[in-house]
Structure 1
Amino acid sequence: MLTLAPPRTAPRTDSGSTEPASMGTRASGFYRHDLDGLRGIAIALVAVFHVWFGRVSGGVDVFLALSGFFFGGRLLRAALSPTASLAPLPEVMRLVRRLLPALVVVLAASAVLTILVQPETRWETFADQSLASLGYYQNWELANTASNYLRAGEAVSPLQHIWSMSVQGQFYVSFLLLVFGLGFLLRRLLGRHLRVVLVVLLSALTIASFVYAIIAHQADQATAYYDSFARAWELLLGALAGALVQHVRWPMWLRTIVSVIALAAILSCGAFIDGVHEFPGPWALVPVGATILFILSAANRAADPHLEGSDGRMPLPNRLLATAPFVSLGAMAYSLYLWHWPLLIFWLAYSGHTSATLLDGAVVLLVSGVLAWLTTRYVEDPLRLRSSGAQKAKSAVPLRTRLRRPTIVLGSIVTLLGVALTATSFTWREHVTVQRANGKELSGLSSRDYPGARALVNRAKVPKLPMRPTVLEAKDDLPQTTLDDCIGDFDDVDVISCAYGDESATRTIALAGGSHAEHWITALDLLGRKHGFKVVTYLKMGCPLTTEEVPLVMGDNRKYPACHEWNEKVMPRLIADHPDFVFTTSTRPWNVKDGDVMPGTYVGIWQALSDAGIPVLAMRDTPWNVRDGEPFFPSDCLAKGGDAISCGIKRSEVLSDRNPTLDFVAQFPLLKPLDMSDAVCREDYCRAVEGNVLIYHDSHHFTATYMRTMTTELGRQIASITGWW
């Protein structure tokens, strides 16, 4: 879930050694060995926490701040220099040479591993994210996934870590245009005062981004995590440090204290702060602020060009990080980050494990390190040396070194890999689109050939025919309300209502709650048309009717304040509309043990509706497919070669022996339980497929096709309660 900026390594010498990386040139007075070492520390933290702890270390925030410092500081100095060029194209080309080659190589390797290891149901997501990674909008692709309830249970992507590279890429281009644009317009007019203007402007942007991050974090943390605007302050703060570092003076004793505290904060951040849920909010100040302090702790040395080439007057932690092992690790940090995450994800997918053991993790890190070194040595460094400076120095470089430098062949190979990856991604997406177009016929499947739930309820015969929907069709086999945008998403707090069934009927059933109430619309619409009643929807994704003050999103337990606000609006609306019945879910799966339960926060809903004289059709919730505490997709399992049984789940794990709603009927006589469990599960097992029909389109939502096969049984239960037919 993290990434980092590529290190600024110097060219390799003829002997094969590597010069220490620098922020600028020796003449600039900003040669910082220790910051390359800090990169080494940060990449070690990122990889170790990912592989063995499944946590965010804060390393990505260190890299964001360092990226702002290196890139932003250099551009600011160029804009302030009366002689420096302000042409953006050379800078863009430089970024392309630095960032894309290694990324393309890792994406191409990941594409091959996806085909070999992942089920075809995951190839579309990989194709989408490959294009997003190459186009540097992967963070927005993931933000959309996080905010899309129907995609929230998708498996972790092998490209998920590239989100922050996209943030950095967007920052680089935006910052380049801003600073060079202002420099071009104002450099001659303002002269030395341009520095003040830029610092004030960047300070205002930093504060604005930080305030936005806090607001976005509180509103929807999962989406804010990937938001470029909520992350911009981390890079801008680094850029400000780059602009001001030459003017900072610290006594040695204070610099040493600051350096020790800053490094300790960076090292301990992942252990004490749950970054997955707390970033990019105020807690992100810990790794970012510590990084800025570490940069400034050696500010005296950086400001003194006479100290160039000697680390003697740097604080001890800075001198330690300036040693060869840390600098060498920092030199390949970009490639190491690119490799370690996909290798971890592919290994877990191949092995079927949910986490890496000590030995597994060590092997993943070792292989990642080897591949990172090879990528840095033979892809990154050669292509990066195609800078104008390298060309100017060409005649002074020995022939043996020049022969190691990038050739047209290497650049062409990387380019062809990128083109092939793009073309393959678009081709697969088109293939999936064509396959899903066949799903339009699902509503007209023969009930004899595809009995679905009738095979369980009515013991209908099941002929040997291919399953429908197919594993590729299932994703789009959705209820009509989703297709009609008649269900609010995570951000919506307004009540959205649509009418189905017999829209002219006087009898009304209100369908209210979250998506687990929503997917019954397929059957209710058919019943309403047949038996003359209207179905009015009051729906919001992931949000059942509840009195919970701080609701959580089922599955990942993140706070969902919009759900509470929506409930505060929808209940008065339901009571005012006064339908004949309210249809909603009455149970949820236990989070701590097997079976299901009726949450105590539902009782207030039953009381409010009872007081208003509105009876409730209380549907027992859908069985959720969970393994090892994580949701799983039966369609993925089937695509891997599993069958209806191996891709199912024991009934006792998802349903209690007795419907929990029955325990509240005496207290609330208007609470009318509905239970369709026997139309989904057998006596002891809930299979993935029944009657030639795939039951779930994800881990816990019914396919519309299977729902249609449950219509008769649902109608029988509703008729016995309402007496309408």
Structure 2
Amino acid sequence: MTVDAESRRAHRAAAARSSAVPPSSPGYRRDIDGLRAVAILLVVVYHVWIGRVSGGVDVFLMISAFFLTRSFARRLDAGRPLAVGTFLLSRFRRLMPAAAVVLAAALGACWLLLPESAWPQLWKEGWASLGYVQNWVLGFDGVDYYAHDSGLASPLQHFWSLSVQGQVFVLWPVLFLLGALLVRWTRKSAASVMAVLFGLVFAGSLAFSVWETAEQQTFAYFDTRARLWEFAAGSLLALALPYVRVPRVLRAVLGWLGLVGLVVCGMVIDVRGGFPGYLALWPIVSAALVIVAGTRPADEHPELGDLGPGRFLATRPVLALGRDAYALYLVHWPILILWLTVRERPHASFLDGLAIIGLSLILARLVTVLVERPLRLPGGERGRPWRNVGVIALCVALVAAVLAPWQVATTVNAEIQKAAFAAQYTGAAGGDTAGDGKDVPLIPVPGAGDRERWSRLDEPCTGRFASDIADVQESCSQTKNAATAKQLVVVIGDSHANQFSGALRPVADERGWGVVMLMRPWCSLETHEEGTDLSNYCDDWQRDATDLVVSMHPDALFTIVTAASPDSPDERLIDGVNETVDRFLSEGIRVVGVRDNPRSAVDNRYECAIEGHPCNFPVEQALAAENPAAPLADRIGLVDFTPWICPNGLCLTEMGHVAVYLDTNHLSFPFVKTLAPALDQQLGDFLKP
């Protein structure tokens, strides 16, 4: 290459870089720090007193991407290395100390204050919060974020947003690395390349968010994919802001409009039912308007003053709150939930709220002064990697020092006791043991794995039992002898059909039957009203699973045929059961119809048993006086476990040192196994050749 060619190439590169430099260099924005303060205050007030979601967290997510993008964009503009590894270490060094201290303290308080039945979920969420995957745990567990009474909400639940943020802090540098490659390849400015990338993320994620929110809103709330557009919005704003020119008066109008919109967001729109779909545009746009309003063009005279909310947001009291915003978000939720738990209240009163907020402000200040500030790197510096790694390792060690001994000691001790008292676990055959032999630990023990809590078959369906339809195949399992047994029974339905298969399996083993199970949560064989959530979720699966059962030609079908109403005698025959029975009988498949068990909408009956305060209840409060499936008795084999679940008309939470329930409505596997003799008795000669 000649000297002239090299000179021309250098000149073009310099010109490309200069074209990417914004008209005015962005400086420190006190009003944005104030905006963060307003957002966290809204989060706290809405959580404590209003019981709704404010949209403040969405603003937090957007602002974090705004600052992150400005930092990386300046490096791209200057042609400096992005140093992604160093950035990630410095960023997590910045985030983890305060989070780790609060997480460890919250876990310690939960250990002391919450019942043993809550511990396994706390262990899982503690590790997930430490690893920045709490949002996925909550999403897959089907946690309802909005039911924030102390009986349902986790003191660690708010770590979901930190997890999403941590995942984006890993993803965004990857996008900038891609952007850097495209800048070199296309010779376009960094701002234009990154605007295209973030625009694609914004459009794709928002479309996905709207779809998933409509289909499965509870999961969408925690889904990182449905949140990426909020971060992309902050990034696009950071790239566009240096080029924005808005008249002074219009800026003021937009700013106040945005601030008021942010404050009233949670009261005006259905955040509970619509986030994070298109409704989340409300807080994002509101925050963007406030940020735009605080952008003063370089040629505007400072003496003109600020008519917008920027002056208010930059006042000392607001900035003082913003200084502790991160710590305040961390501490307020566990304080709220533990306070409500100790005082046994579903919601905070006005005075309770004042105390909770006051204590949260004090602890947030202490966390900021004693933990966050001493470990914070000076602005713009990323620190030495080995020091950053050391700080991160100490944070992990702190949380693990609480979680690991708690979890291991509890689990090992429970297993030792369970083995020692194995002969005393008689379940339905042992009668009511409440108040008798309380030195015998109940099973399943807190923290027991799924195989100790739920009935499971041996292996996934194969051969003629397998399905090409993914949803059906995922729900299908079988015993090892299913293909070779002389007689085959298929269990089909929801989790209640699954639970009662725990009684069927010992009978099947004794009689030499093979068993196949097709189970999907919430999907019994009931007919659903078209267009409802259950119809959308279950109908296709029901049709395809039923077709698969018919193709198997089993000797019998085992399913639930009634639906109990929580805390009510309004038990009913499930809709469409007659048509379902007719279809299987017409195919020569005999049907075993099982009556549902009593349910509750309020009492977690496992917690009642574990805490030694059985919430036993009369059967007439939970089931109909007569079995609604009785008219089917001349056509199907009818099974009713009620006399064993509710002996002498009283439904028990503990029998034979076994917890009858797992939660409000599911029976525990150790108990259901002890119902096998009752099932064998009721089946009698059923299925005999």
Query: Scaled by the length of structure 1, what TM-score is found?
Result: 0.79
Q: Deviations 1:660-708 (Å, cap 9, x if unpaired)?
A: 333x53xx85254321112112445322211222222344332222122
Residues 311 and 99 of structure 1: CA distance in aligned 2, closer, same or farther (over 3 Å):
farther
Alignment counterpart, residue 195 of structure 1, candidates 191, 196, 213: 191
Question: Which of residues 417, 424, 432 is equivalent to 2:402?
Answer: 424
Q: Structure 1 44/420 Cα, relative in aligned 2: closer, same or farther at 3 Å?
A: closer
Question: Is structure 2 residue 544 aligned with structure 1 residue 569?
Answer: yes
State the AA in 2 paired with 1:79: L
Give the whole-Å Cα distance in 2 for the aligned partners of 1:700 and 1:494: 26
Q: How big is each residue's C-alpha offset from its partner over 1:216-259, in whole Å with a ceiling of 9 and x where there is no partner? A: 33443332322222211100110110000111122344434433
- Distance in 1, matches of 2:314 and 2:472, equals 52
Contact 2:128 2:137 in 1 (8 A): yes
Q: Choose which of 518, 523, 528 in structure 2 pairs with 1:543.
A: 523
From 483, 499, 503, the equivalent of 1:523 is 503
1:21 corresponds to = none
Code of the aligned partner of 1:323: T
Paired residue secondary structure (1:160): coil
1:396-452 deviations in Å (ceiling 9; x for gaps): xxxxxxxxxxxx9xx99997564132133234444455457669969x954xx4332
2:684 and 2:513 mapped to 1: Cα distance? 12
Would the alpha carbon gap of residues 188 and 626 (structure 1) be closer, same or farther in structure 2, given more than 3 Å must change? closer
User: Corresponding residue for 2:305?
Assistant: 312
Could you say if the C-alpha distance between residues 277 and 492 of structure 1 is closer, same or farther in structure 2, counting changes exceeding 3 Å? farther
Which one of 148, 157, 162 corresponds to residue 160 of structure 1? 157
Give me the whole-angstrom Cα distance separating, in 2, the residues matched to 1:550 and 1:81.
Answer: 58
Structure 1 position 287, deviation (Å)? 1.7
How far does residue 551 in structure 1 lie from its aligned partner after superposition? 8.5
CA contact (8 A) 1:614 1:670 kept: no
SS of residue matched to 1:116: helix
Could you tell me which residue of structure 2 aligns to residue 616 of structure 1? 591
Q: Summarize deviations over 1:377-404 as a string: whole Å, max 9, x none.
A: 333233225557699xxxxxxxxxxxxx
- Cα distance in 1 between the residues matched to 2:232 and 2:206: 10
> Does the Cα contact within 8 Å between 1:513 and 1:540 map onto a contact in 2?
yes
Return the match for 2:241 from 235, 241, 245: 245
**Residue in structure 1 matched with residue 13 of structure 2 by the alignment:** none
- Counterpart-to-counterpart distance in 2, 1:661 and 1:203: 57
Q: Name 2:604's counterpart in structure 1.
A: 632
After superposition, the C-alpha distances for 1:9-45 in whole angstroms (9 at most, x for unaligned) are: xxxxxxxxxxxxxxxxxx8344433322322222122
Residue of structure 2 aligned with 1:715, choices 672, 680, 683? 680
Shift of residue 190 of structure 1?
6.0
| Kept after mapping to 2: 8 A contact 1:547/1:567 | no
The alignment partner of 1:225 has SS state of: helix
- The equivalent position to 1:214 in structure 2, one of 210, 226, 231, is 210
CA contact (8 A) 2:324 2:364 kept: yes
Output the CA distance in 2 between the equivalents of 1:524 and 1:501. 15
Deviation at 1:658, TM superposition (A): 2.8
Q: How does 1:358-377 map to 2 (within 5 A)?
A: 358-377=350-369
Q: Report deviation, 1:324.
A: 3.1
**CA 1:419 to 1:211, structure 2 compared with 1: closer, same or farther past 3 Å?**
same
CA positional deviation for 1:494: 4.3
Q: CA deviation at 1:307?
A: 5.6
What secondary structure is seen at the aligned counterpart in 1 of 2:517?
strand
1:180-191 alignment runs, 5 A limit: 180=177, 182-183=179-180, 185=181
Task: Tell me, yes or no, if the aligned pair for 2:411 and 2:447 is still in contact at 8 Å.
Answer: no
Q: 1:675 aligns with which of 626, 640, 646?
A: 640
Output the TM-score relative to the length of structure 2: 0.83
Kindly provide the amino acid, as one letter, of the partner of residue 367 in structure 1.
L
| Greater Cα offset, 343-352 or 593-602 | 593-602
Query: Is the aligned partner of 1:103 residue 2:126?
Result: no
Contact 1:511 1:584 in 2 (8 A): yes
Contact 1:46–1:56 at 8 Å: present in 2 too? yes
Aligned mates of 1:482, 1:275 — CA distance in 2: 41
Q: Which residue of 1 aligns with 2:110?
A: 114
Which residue is 1:384 aligned to? 376
Does the residue aligned with 2:238 lie in a helix, a strand or coil? helix
Secondary structure at the residue paired with 1:304? coil
Question: Of 111, 115, 120, which residue of structure 2 is paired with 1:124?
Answer: 120
CA distance in 2, matches of 1:110, 1:42: 23
Tell me which amino acid in the other structure corresponds to 1:563. Answer: C
| Aligned-partner residue type, residue 130 of structure 2 | L
Cα distance, 1:127 vs structure 2: 3.0
SS at match of 2:266: helix
Measure the CA separation in 2 of the matches of 1:420 and 1:155. Answer: 27
* 2:474 equivalent to 1:492: no
Which deviates more from structure 2 when the two are superposed, residues 351-360 or residues 100-109? Answer: 351-360
Percent identity for Structure 1 against Structure 2: 31
Q: Decide which of 19, 41, 51 is 2:38's aligned counterpart.
A: 41
Task: Say whether the 8 Å CA contact 2:72–2:82 is kept in structure 1.
Answer: no
- Partner SS state of residue 547, structure 1: coil
Contact 2:569-2:621 at 8 Å conserved across structures: yes
Given candidates 698, 703, 706, the residue that maps to 2:671 is 706
In 2, Cα distance between the equivalents of 1:483 and 1:322?
Answer: 64
Backbone CA RMSD of aligned residues: 3.8
Deviations 1:172-208 (A, max 9, x none): 222124325643x466676662321121121112212
Quick one: which of 63, 87, 90 aligns to 2:60? 63
Determine the C-alpha separation between the residues in 1 that align with 2:278 and 2:576: 31
| Counterpart selection for 1:141 from 137, 142, 146 | 137
- 1:304 maps to a residue whose letter is A
Alignment counterpart, residue 471 of structure 1, candidates 423, 445, 448: 445
The answer for unaligned runs of 5 or more in structure 2 is 1-23, 145-149
SS in 1 for 2:680: helix
Q: Are the counterparts in 2 of residues 546 and 604 from structure 1 also a CA contact under 8 Å?
A: no
The residue type paired with residue 267 of structure 1 is V
Alignment of 1:651-662 (within 5 A): 651-662=619-630
Moved more, 618-627 or 238-247: 618-627
Maintained 8 Å contact 1:516/1:701: yes
CA contact (8 A) 1:500 1:534 kept: yes
Q: How is 1:406-421 mapped onto 2 (pairs within 5 angstroms)?
A: 416=394, 418-421=396-399
| Aligned length in residues | 650
Cα contact 2:258–2:290 (8 A) shared by 1: yes
Stretches of structure 1 lacking an aligned partner (at least 5 in a row)? 1-26, 392-407, 553-557
- How far is 1:98 from its partner? 2.8
Secondary structure (helix, strand or coil) at the match of 2:92 reads: helix
